[in-house]
Each structure stands twice: as structure tokens, then as C-alpha cells.
Structure 1
Amino acid sequence: AYVIAVLVSGFIAMTVTPALSYMLLRKAPLDKRQSPILPLLHRGYSRALKPVMGRPAFAIGAFALLAFSGIGVYPQLGQELLPDFKERDFLMHWLGKPGTSHPEMVRISELACQELLTIDGVNNCGSHIGQALLMDEVYGIYFGENWISVDPSVDYDETLATVQATVDGYPGLVRDVQTYLKERIREVLTGSSHPIVIRIYGEDMDTLRRKAAEIEEALRAEDGLKEVHTELLVDIPQVDIKVDLDLAAAYGVKPGDVRRQAGYMLAGEEAGDIHTVNRTYDVNIWSLPENRDSLTDIYNLPIETPSGERVALQEIASIEIVPTANAVNRENLARRIHIDAELDGVALSTAVETVEEVLEGIEFPVGYYPELLGEFSEQQEASRNLLRISLLSGLLVLILLYVSYNSLRLAVLSFFALSAALVGGVLAAWGTGGVLSLGSLVGFLTVLGIAARNGIMLINHYQHLEDKEGMAFGPDLVLRGARERVAPILMTALTTGLALVPLAISGSIPGHEIEHPMAIVILGGLITSTLVNLFIVPPVYLLIGDRHKTAVAA
């Protein structure tokens, strides 16, 4: 959108603006008009600039100090891929222990909804439990989600705190409270709804569980993390039926017959379809609940033989209850287990540093290793891609500046002046929370374009005075050029800055989660880039901008 806006604005400036100027201003008087403010502005700016003109070393030192301050502050900034969206629709994951029954999950979900609806501002509550047929999320009946919507008229932070306290009042469950939008974005980008995900690879499930428990215990002792829990990969009781081939053969029963008949009776299976009125209905066979509610019922499960007689299942098979993993997850040809965590009042990058320190202090057997996933890994990948693209873009900008000025030194001067906008944005972000997010990135790109325009406009005007108006290179040329361009530079900065002030002072309110950090970065970049263009570029240009002297030296 930003690139399209720049291209369209350039096209309008070169086509529509000249045409409108001709239509609307062709009969306008040509006598020079000047705002009464400009003489005062020019005199004040000249007084401030003259002491700096003869001291280019001071200007260079001031720029170096500004640059080093930005370099020093940047490592202290936290980073996050997504801001905390203050959306009014909340989603709560609601996980019981594997093996929790459907009636119990329904009871807990209904009780939670009843309690949530008593909170002032909660308009509605809904939930789903388990999964529907052929759904994309493969979970057991122990998995549920609750949703609520909050009225816009109530205080957001206070209501969220009350909802969180209510949810925390249900022990024995893995639960969280997230906005629906952020949860969906995380799922799409990272495959998980949690910002911190540690994946351990290995082959033995017991070893994976032990190392996961060790990491979970260590993370719970650290500040900045909450709701630390290990993925629910546990042993659950399961009926294990092994057919005795000799006994089954004596009755003429095959193992496959036992499996099918036991499956029909205990779990239910599809036996066919009914087609009627352009609709298709599955036909499932399942025994009555009272015929399968105890181990004795399974012992006495009647298996039909080829002769039409029936034999009890225990007569042809061994039946026992054994511990079995509720799920086995694999990734990259290896078993894996996850440890998830939420942030507790810290930036994502700070939490990741804590997690990395914890992982460094834990020893893993041969063949077992951890991997840090989640939102941070996506942010790191995005940062690496952005760095590569930025280096290429910076090279292209330097080439364009060289083509515009026909001077490598002036191109380098203008290029380094652009960095002042980045430094200002970094300092502004550090002073207002110290976190860089998606909105901050948009702000950096925007302020770079404004800073580039002002710098190019100033240096090109110096060259115009020398080439077109015949002024000799020297302090008078630099002072005149700076004085004649101070109004356009300030007007560009002020009009952009004033438009962003409401976003900056309103804070991170609902709906402004991206615009607020963007406005902060742009305002900071505008301040520093404007000061650099007005007070540092002129004395440095006086030092290195004499093209005739450069040509003679060459």
C-alpha cells in the first residue's frame, strides 16, 4: 500500500498538479507574495545556523553522538511480531486431562459460561467441545474452546483482568485467554496459538516427558512467563484385546472378524449409507451403553461364529487394561513434545532470552535436542528477510542519489543523513515503552521517505544556485540555500507530525495497536531528520560539496 501510494502521488504531482496549476492560476497576479512569518523564520534560522557553519567538526561530532546513541539504545529494545490487539472478542482454550468424559467437559464449560456472563460487559458466551466429523483440529473430547464478546462501553483492561481471574479459578485445566484475532494470526503464522513454543525431539516418549517436565519446572521459576505447560501427551487406560489364533481357529473365527465385531459393539462403525431426498446419511452400528459400560461386559461380548453360534470374547482372546499414549506426534521423522508459555508483562525478545538461558542449562541425551518455535521464530525469519531486502534497497538508494547529485561524496552525505530518521525512531520507541512491533516497522519505512525527500530537496537546491543562478560555492551559497529551503522542510515535517499527534497521545487504545507505535516512530524520526537536514547537512556540505575543487584535485 505504501509503495502504491508513493507511485500514485508521484504520478499526480507530475500530471494533475501542473494541469490544475495552469487552469486555476493562469490569470493570477505574478507579483511575489510572502507570508509575514517567513522573514522571522529566516532571520531566526540564519542566526542559529551561522555559528555552526564554520565548525563542521562540531556538526560531524553531533551526528556521530546521535548515531551512537541510537546504536546503544537499539539492543535494549524489546521486539515482538504482533502487538496486543485490544479486540472485544475473546477465545479461551479449555483442556482437561486426556480421558475426561464428555459430560464432565459439558458441565465445566456450562459452569464457566454462567460465571463469565455475570461479569459486567460480557454480552454472550459460547463453546465447542471435541471435534466435528472431518474437522481440521484433531483433538479428543477433553479439548474445548469458549468464546465471549465484551461490550465496547466497559473498560477494556479491567474487564480482561476480571475474565482472566475467573478463568484462573478453574484448577486442573490448561486454559488461557486470548483475543480471537491474535490467536488466529498466530495459528496461521506459527502453527501454535502460544508466543513461546519449545519442541523437544527424540524417540523414547518417557525420556521426552522427563525432559519436558524439567524444562517446565525451570521456566515456572523465571519472571516474564506464565501459563507454562507441557503438551498433554500422557498415558491413558486402554482395553487391549489379543486374539488367540488357535482358540479362534477352533471356532472357525478369524482375527479380522473379532476386530470388526468388537469395533461395532465397543466403538461403533459405519455400516452403510441411506440416500433420500438428495441427502446422504451414514448408518452406524453401535451397542447400547449398558452393554459396554464395564470390563465384564467386554469379557462376555458375544462373537458370532460361521456356524451361527456365539462365543464370549474371553474364550478366544486375552483382555486387559494397559497404559497407552493418548497421542504420538512426529515431526521430521522423530517423536516430539511441546512446552508452551505465555508472556507476562515483558517483550517477546526478553522472554526468548530467558528461555534460551534455561535451555542452555539443561543437558539432553544423545539424539534428543530442543528447538525454539512460535512467534519469535517467525519474527527472526522475517527480520532476516527484511535485512536482506534492506541492504539491497540501501544500495539502490545510494545509486539513485549518486545519479541525482553526480557526486559520490554528496550521495554518501545524503545517505547517512537518512539514518538520522532511523535513530530518531529508535530513540522514540525506547522512550515510550521500548518495544518494536509491526507498526514500528511501518513507521520506519514511512519516515525514511520523508527524510529522503527533504535531504534531496536541500542538496539539489544548493546545486541549482551554483549551476543555474551562478553563485560561487561558499558560505553565502550554503546559507541562502538552507534559508530558502527551511520553510518547505519544516512544512513537510510539521504537516506530517501534526497529523500523527492524535495517534501518538491517544496511546495504545483498541483499534490503534499498529497506528500508535507507527506514529511514535515517525514523530521521533521527523524530529531528528529535520534537525540533521537543517543544522548538520549545511556545514558538512560546505566542507565537501565544492565540485570544482573536487574536479581540480582529480
Structure 2
Amino acid sequence: MRSFVALCLRQRWAVVGLALLFVALAVRMLGEARFDAFPEFAPPRVEIQTEAPGLSSAEVEALVTMPLEASLAGTPGITALRSKSVLGLSSILLLFPSGTDLLKARALVQERVTRAAPSLPMVARAPVLLSPLSSTSRILKIGMWSASLSQTELSDLARWKVRPALMSVPGVANVAVWGERRRRLEVRADPDRLVANGIDLSRLVAAARDALSPRPGGLVDLPTTRLPVVQTAMIRDASELRAVPLATLRRGALTIGDVAEVEESYATPIGDALVTKGRGVLLIVEKQPGASTLDVTAGVDAAIERLRPGLADVEIDPTIFRPAGFIRRALDNLGHAMGIGCAFVIAVLFVFLWNARTALISVLAIPLSLLSAAFVLTALGWTIDTMVIAGLVIALGEVVDDAIIDVE
């Protein structure tokens, strides 16, 4: 060690040059570092959700969850299989050992889900594999409310305008909308009017379904070309659906509105959302595994600012839940601790040794040590989280002690 120190003293300008080069390299690499509130502590997992509108929890368990579980139970590599059945929704979670290739695991699960899908009841929709999520997936909760828009109109804005913009941000895995009221047209048949006009319920259901479902119009062959027939008269509101004909009678066309009540409504809500000003819509932004919380949060904030001019009647609050604030506060605390440590080193060395150069050497050793630790963590592909930052703050005391003792 003594000979190494002597060599460094003889080649001091080379040491200074290498230190400056290392600082430049470390600062550049820190720009690519990933920051998160907590480390990835959950094992690789794959979640499958299946919607079954109208089925009770017991029916979902018996008709949807159990057939899928039977097909997924033999998936290679799974360590645990958990399921949850609620009103109209089945959720199955498969856990894999740490280090498992998630893409390969998802491919194996998708293969078995595809095999089991035909055995599900007709009312059940196709099973969906959710996007891969971080163990601490929620990085933002964004509240939306409006004094002039209804809950249904606000839900349409969140679903068709805000959510697609946020999903386009790199690192965002999913944006869930809580308190949503999905618009729909409701047809309530009147049994007396059906009987009076000789129309059965199945005919009414078929007419309403055909009116709301886009269908191909076929082709028209001409001598020199072929023209497609395109349906453009799509149903947009309740009045247009009321005018859809069911049958032709002597007095004229019998429409859906003659035998049923048609009105605009919304699907049965699963839950509700209360934001700052009362009832509204809450957007839950979830990030992908390995994505930097700070980068994803900055991207979401930028997307919201681009949307604001087109949402003049809507209030948006992106500060309800922001783990990025915890991370920035931890980084600020680390900077403050480093500043206090440098000040103490300068005071102790200058007062007791009366040598400005020794104080300068010790002061430079502190940030170089922290940069070295951050450089190694980033080079190894690790995420810098609040626990790592807390460890660096604790280690700062040892760095300060070494800086004083070694120089002395």
C-alpha cells in the first residue's frame, strides 16, 4: 500500500487526469441509470384475466376459472398458481422461479390458454394475458373531474383520449381507469307491445344486434372493376336505434321504438372513484419491469401537458400518488448528507492540519467514492432505489472517516 501511494504521488497529474476521465464517464452513465422507489422483490409472474359479464362469482369460479386452472396446472416451471373469481371477472396468477425468461413463460402460458378457451361458456370473452408489470407497478394515480361534463362523458375522454396518450409513453405497461361509466344503448322490451304486434323477443334482440354490428356489404362487379359496398349508416344515439325497422305492417314500418324503450345509459360499474373535488375518474398508471420510475413519470407528465389544451373543461391532478417524489427526496437527502460531510472534512482537516491541499484531497474523495458506487451499480444493470440510496448515505460516514484518516 505504501509503494502504491508513493507511485500515485509521483504520477499525480496522471491520477488527476484519470479521475477527471472517470468523473465524465460516470456522469454520462448515470444519465442512463434506472431509478425506482423499491427493488424488484417479486418473482416473475403471468396473470390471465377473463371477463364474463352477467355471471355470479360462483358461476365464474365453476365455468371459467376452474377450466383454465386445469389447463394451466401443468405449465412447466410454475411454483404457484393462484386464482380469484369475482362478479363477472376471473383472474389467475402464475408464479415462476427467479431468473425465468418471462417471454418464454408467457409463450407457454398463452399456448395452454388458447387450448382451454373453446371450453369456456359463450358469455365469457377471450382470456387476456396482462402486460408484464413491475412488482411495485403503480407509479402514478391521476385524478380527473369536471364541473360541466357528466360522468359518462368524462369516462369517454379518459378512455378514448387520455389513456391512449399515456399508453404511448415508453415504459408504461397499463393504464387502468377507475370510476369509469362506459356508454351503451339500452333496449328494454315491453312484453305487451311485443305480443300486440306479433313480435317475439329473439327477433327484437337480433334486430338490435344487427343494427349495432358493422357488417360487410359485399361487392358489386362492373365490366371493368369491382366496387365494395360499405355500410356508413352506423347507429350513433338512441333516436337512431329507435327508428330501426322490425317488420312491415299495413299501417307502415314497425320499429324498435314501437315495442321497446331505448335510452342511453352506461354499463354496470364495478367501482367508483373519489378525487380531490368529489366524484371523478382515477387513472392508475403501471410501469413495465425494469423501467425507470423517474423517466416514465417525466414522460407521463409531458403527455398530460400536451393534452391539457384539448381538455379545457377537465381538471387533472397528477400528484395524488407519485413515487417519483420519494426518489427525488432521497436523492436530495443524499446530496445534503454529502455536503454536510464535505463541510465537516474541510473544517476538521483545516483546523487540525492547517493544510488546504489535504482538505481538498479529502473533499474530492467523497464524491468520487459515491460516483464509483453508482457507476458500478449502473454498469451491472441494477436499479438505484431508495434502499440503495439509504445504504450510500450510511456508507458516507465511513467514506468521511477514511478520507480524514488516510490523508492524516
Q: How many percent identity over aligned positions?
A: 12
Matches within 5 A, 1:319-468: 323-324=265-266, 326=269, 327-334=271-278, 335-343=280-288, 346-362=291-307, 363-372=309-318, 377-388=322-333, 390-391=335-336, 394-395=339-340, 398-399=343-344, 402-403=347-348, 405-406=350-351, 407=354, 409=356, 410-433=358-381, 435-438=383-386, 440-445=388-393, 447-460=395-408
Contact 1:216 1:228 in 2 (8 A): yes
Distance 1:95 1:452, change over 3 A: farther
Counterparts of 2:315 and 2:112 in 1: how far apart (Å)? 34
What letter corresponds to residue 49 of structure 1 in structure 2? L
Match of 1:481 in 2: none
Match of 1:209 in 2: 155
Following TM superposition, by how much is the alpha carbon of 1:418 offset from its aligned partner in structure 2, in angstroms? 0.4
Match of 2:216 in 1: none
Match of 2:218 in 1: none
Following TM superposition, by how much is the alpha carbon of 1:96 offset from its aligned partner in structure 2, in angstroms? 2.8
Give per-residue Cα distances to partners, 1:161-194, cap 9 Å, x unaligned: 3466369857656763779xx75xx4xxxxxx53
Following TM superposition, by how much is the alpha carbon of 1:351 offset from its aligned partner in structure 2, in angstroms? 2.8
Contact 1:225 1:344 in 2 (8 A): no
Decide which of 176, 195, 212 is 2:130's aligned counterpart: 176
Counterparts of 1:199 and 1:174 in 2: how far apart (Å)? 27
Counterparts of 1:404 and 1:231 in 2: how far apart (Å)? 59
Match of 1:536 in 2: none
Distance 1:94 1:368, change over 3 A: same
Secondary structure of 1:451's counterpart equals helix
Counterparts of 2:128 and 2:69 in 1: how far apart (Å)? 16
Q: Which runs of 5+ in 1 are unaligned?
A: 1-40, 131-140, 187-192, 241-318, 461-554
Q: Does 1:94 align with 2:49?
A: yes
Following TM superposition, by how much is the alpha carbon of 1:420 offset from its aligned partner in structure 2, in angstroms? 0.2
Give the TM-score taking structure 1 as reference length: 0.47
What letter corresponds to residue 275 of structure 2 in structure 1? E
| Higher Cα radius of gyration | 1
What letter corresponds to residue 199 of structure 1 in structure 2? G
What letter corresponds to residue 96 of structure 1 in structure 2? E
Higher helix share: 1
Match of 1:225 in 2: 172
Contact 2:145 2:277 in 1 (8 A): no
Counterparts of 1:408 and 1:199 in 2: how far apart (Å)? 57
Distance 1:336 1:110, change over 3 A: same
Match of 1:35 in 2: none
Q: Does 1:142 align with 2:127?
A: no
Counterparts of 2:365 and 2:51 in 1: how far apart (Å)? 58
Following TM superposition, by how much is the alpha carbon of 1:205 offset from its aligned partner in structure 2, in angstroms? 1.7
Match of 1:80 in 2: 36
What letter corresponds to residue 369 of structure 1 in structure 2? E
Following TM superposition, by how much is the alpha carbon of 1:79 offset from its aligned partner in structure 2, in angstroms? 1.5
Distance 1:176 1:168, change over 3 A: farther
Match of 1:114 in 2: 70
What letter corresponds to residue 208 of structure 1 in structure 2? L
Contact 2:338 2:396 in 1 (8 A): no
Contact 2:48 2:93 in 1 (8 A): no
Counterparts of 1:60 and 1:113 in 2: how far apart (Å)? 63
Q: Which runs of 5+ in 2 are unaligned?
A: 118-124, 189-260
Secondary structure of 2:399's counterpart equals helix
CA RMSD of aligned residues (A): 4.2
What letter corresponds to residue 78 of structure 1 in structure 2? R
What letter corresponds to residue 218 of structure 1 in structure 2? A
Distance 1:168 1:368, change over 3 A: farther
Counterparts of 2:366 and 2:93 in 1: how far apart (Å)? 47
Contact 1:418 1:451 in 2 (8 A): yes
Contact 1:78 1:347 in 2 (8 A): yes
Decide which of 105, 108, 132 is 2:60's aligned counterpart: 105
Contact 2:37 2:386 in 1 (8 A): yes
